Amino acid sequence: MSEWKTIVVGVDGSSGSRTALSWAAAEAGDHGAELVVVNVWEHTLLPPAGSVTVSEHYVPDPSQRTADDLVRVIKEQLGDDPPVLVQPRVKQGSPAKVLIEESANADLLVVGTRGHGGFAGLVLGSVSQHVAAYAQCPVTVVR
């Protein structure tokens, strides 16, 4: 078996990303690699509520909620004591861009075929298409 040190997996909580997480954890175990679980959120402003401007005070920072959600998903999929070293990471930005950046320090990048967004009839989602085309390491798209 090849020696991998780091496997990165993108997780958005969708069933496809949960399957990718389980697959990536098994691979990390087989290769003795660390598993980096990445969740990416995009900052969006709430629409104005009767006013021309929206104060930043009224836009909640979703990063903590997302971190809690990510840890919950990891525990649901891998249990309370995963068989591999798991490093959860929550980042802000475009999911495809952040995962491509994370691939620079990875031996393998794993994503599901489809996440929460997009059109259900497509075989691959936009994130999986982008990372497959531009990642800086091998990519596995788990179905």
pLDDT tens for 43-56 read 666 555 655 555 55
What pTM, to 2 d.p., does this model score?
0.83
Segment 22-40, tens digit of pLDDT: 999 999 999 999 999 999 9
Segment 68-98, tens digit of pLDDT: 999 999 999 999 999 899 999 999 999 999 9
- Position 30 scores a pLDDT of 95
- Position 87 scores a pLDDT of 97
Spatial contact of 18 and 39, defined as CB atoms under 8 Å apart: no
Buried b (16+ CB within 10 A) or exposed e, 39-72: bbbeeeeeeeeeeeeeeeeeeeeeeeebeebbee
